[in-house]
Amino acid sequence: MPDLIVRLSSGRTSPVFFSPLAEVPDLMEACGLVRGKCLVVTDRRVGPLYGAALASGLSSRGWMPHVLSLPAGEHTKSAQHLGAIYDFALSTGIDRRTPLLALGGGVIGDVVGFAAATLLRGLPLVQLPTSLIAQVDSAIGGKTGINHSEGKNLIGAFHQPHLICADLSTLRSLPELEWSSGLAEVVKHALIADTGLLESLERHWPALMERQATVVRDTVIRAAAVKVAVVNEDEREASCRMILNFGHTFGHAIEREAGYGRFTHGEAVALGMRAALKVSHLLEPMLPLSRLMRLVSRLPVRHSLDSVDPAALHRAMYRDKKVRSGTLRLVLLRAPGEAYVTDRVTPEEIDTGWAAVCSPVKPTR
């Protein structure tokens, strides 16, 4: 039985397993994928850790894996590396049943997912997320895509995976900064939809920072369940799925203005959540701002922007792809665990949000 199930409008499901990578070949068959050729795309950080074991496990179960390793990092979410996947896939003689396996974090999941969405008008996709962000968020729900110089994720498609298998043991090898960045998404899920997760994070934060296995398992599955529940409500982001963008409209402006790679996505989201909490509190004074800010401040990432011009951030925010029509829609909190979308925030209120991240804050443990 899957740990979680995404129920798709097509009638198909996207099962989520928190299982060892060694189980992937059996899970692929159980999900109806037809044994034969398959393509594993990974990056040069994750590939050396898990690629060989995955490929030999697949071979021993009668699959014929072809492995492509791309550079690690946000720059891989580009037309150039997408092209490299196309060239590799087409040179191996794929057909419409050939699954593409994305072994890695959010970057690999997004670019490989987009390749799967477009090659031969759609190949089966298996997401094997090895980062915290990918396990609780990006590998679930079918968003795929690449960046453009005009902005992040401007080219993409919805393409729902046939299988998501997240091996929690891969989180042990995650570099500190990536772990912290992933925690930002976990905190986001607690803030927008799950007060139980919020309390659990407050209680178990030190154990989580030490990556204690049972706390990690409980936290990751609970945070991923928020994502699954939201996607089950609104698969194509017509309405409530937008709440997953809490902190992201501010965060994308930071990434864009500072230059991709200067802040991790999680760092930008942590800063964005501070700004969004500040604006939420302006509109809803009963919101327990200091409690929620305290939780965000525990994230061991940078909590202030010192070298980015707030006016430039403000302008960058209006260039976000979700603001193309000129109306800025923000996700705010009405209460802990209760997010809403509004287009009634004034530029002055937005600037108050930016002020909350442009002054230094000391992280607390």
* Catalytic site positions: 121, 143, 185, 227, 237, 241, 245, 248, 252, 265
Closest CA to 40 of 104, 107, 90: 104
Q: Which of residues 84-123 bind ligand GLY (CB under 6 A)?
A: none
Least distance between ligand GLY and beta carbon 88 (Å): 26
The token pair at 257 is: 């203005």
Please list the residues that pair with 341 across neighbouring strands.
331
Backbone angles phi and psi of 9, in degrees to 5 = -65, -25
**Is residue 162 within 8 Å of 29, Cβ to Cβ?**
no
| Between 162 and 265, CB nearer to ligand GLY | 265
Among 33, 102, 193, 244, binds ligand GLY (CB under 6 A): 244
128 interacts with ligand GLY by CB under 6 A: no
Burial 23-41 (b: 16+ CB within 10 A, else e): ebbebbeebebeeebbbbb
Which residue is at the shortest CB distance from ligand GLY? Answer: 244
Angle between helices 176-193 and 195-209 (to 10 degrees): 160
Stretch that binds ligand GLY, among 111-119, 137-145, 254-262, 348-356 (CB under 6 A): 137-145
| Between 47 and 113, CB nearer to ligand GLY | 113
Backbone angles phi and psi of 123, in degrees to 5 = -110, 155
| Cα radius of gyration rounded to whole Å, the chain | 20
251 interacts with ligand GLY by CB under 6 A: no
Stretch that binds ligand GLY, among 40-48, 134-142, 194-202, 265-273 (CB under 6 A): 134-142
137 interacts with ligand GLY by CB under 6 A: yes
Least distance between ligand GLY and beta carbon 72 (Å): 20
How many Å apart are CA 162 and CA 174, to the nearest integer? 25
Among 141, 266, 336, 337, binds ligand GLY (CB under 6 A): 141
How many Å apart are CA 365 and CA 363, to the nearest integer? 7
Least distance between ligand GLY and beta carbon 185 (Å): 8
Among 45, 77, 81, 143, binds ligand GLY (CB under 6 A): 143
Interface residue list for ligand GLY (CB under 6 A): 137-138, 141, 143, 237, 241, 244
